[in-house]
Chains A and B, each alone.
Chain A
Amino acid sequence: DAKTTQPTSMDCAEGRAANLPCNHSTISGNEYVYWYRQIHSQGPQYIIHGLKNNETNEMASLIITEDRKSSTLILPHATLRDTAVYYCIVRANTGFQKLVFGTGTRLLVSP
């Protein structure tokens, strides 16, 4: 079973920041938080991952709470092409660990 909880769906206006929350209250000390997204009828795309520090790359920012029980993915300026299902996954980085996908959050970016 997935070890994360995400809202089923969210809406965002184009150009605004999209903040996608994720709860992972049972996360272990050696588990990272990963975010992937899946645009309709495509394979998942890696976005970002982190352990305990906040992370930023060209796609998004990841904010992890100090107790690591939740995190937020931030898309700073959402575009229509960001409409997708976003998956938050926790996984250890020791060996080839499988990814367990939950139901994710369906983000709809509107004009």
Chain B
Amino acid sequence: GAVVSQHPSWVICKSGTSVKIECRSLDFQATTMFWYRQFPKQSLMLMATSNEGSKATYEQGVEKDKFLINHASLTLSTLTVTSAHPEDSSFYICSASPSWDSTYEQYFGPGTRLTVT
């Protein structure tokens, strides 16, 4: 149980276009999901906390108008990278916490590799 999926697993897009990444909790409901970004040979950096039915909370330095997060249901959160540029190329990872889990454990998706040309 507690499986999180991401789609797509990898995507290549042209500079200036927008890309949407989906994060789904397959066998549980998740009130809260998290979005991370990881550049090559670096650690994961939290971008934002996504709460179902409310606005996301962004970490300092993350542009909320560029990285649009929507958490419209208890099993789906989306991250849209708007007007992507080559410096947005990165590995994007989501995690989700089951609503029923009192330890608030986070389960991670497999990640989405974005390349902007």
Q: Which residues of A contact B (CB under 8 A)?
A: 36, 38, 41-46, 49, 87, 93, 95-104
A93 touches B104 (CB 8 A): yes
Complex Cα distance, B104 from A44, in Å, reads 16
B108 at the interface (CB under 8 A from A): yes
Contact B46 A99 (CB under 8 A): yes
Question: How far is the CB of A34 from the nearest CB of chain B, in Å?
Answer: 9
Q: Are A99 and B34 in contact (CB under 8 A)?
A: yes
| Nearest residue, chain B, Cβ from A87 | B43
Chain A residues near B113 (CB, 8 Å)? 41
User: Chain B residues with Cβ under 8 A from A99's Cβ?
Assistant: 34, 46, 95, 106
Question: In whole angstroms, how far apart are the Cα atoms of A42 and B104 in the complex?
Answer: 22
Q: A101-B43, A102-B43 are in contact. Are A96 and B93 (CB under 8 A)?
A: no
Chain B residues with CB under 8 Å of A98's CB are 34, 46, 49
Q: In chain B, what residue has the closest Cβ to A38?
A: B44
- In the complex, whether B45 has a CB less than 8 A from a CB of chain A is yes
A21 to chain B, nearest CB (A): 18
Q: Is the CB of A103 within 8 A of B43?
A: yes
| Contacting pair A96 B110 (CB below 8 A) | no
Q: A103 — which chain B residues lie within 8 A by C-beta?
A: 43
Q: A96-B49, A99-B46, A102-B43 are known contacts. Are A46 and B34 too (CB-CB below 8 A)? A: no
Cβ–Cβ < 8 Å partners of B54 in chain A: none
* Contact of B104 with A97 in the complex, beta carbons under 8 Å: yes
Question: How many angstroms from the CA of A93 to the CA of B97 in the assembled complex?
Answer: 12
Within the complex, the shortest CB–CB distance from A52 to chain B, in Å, comes to: 15
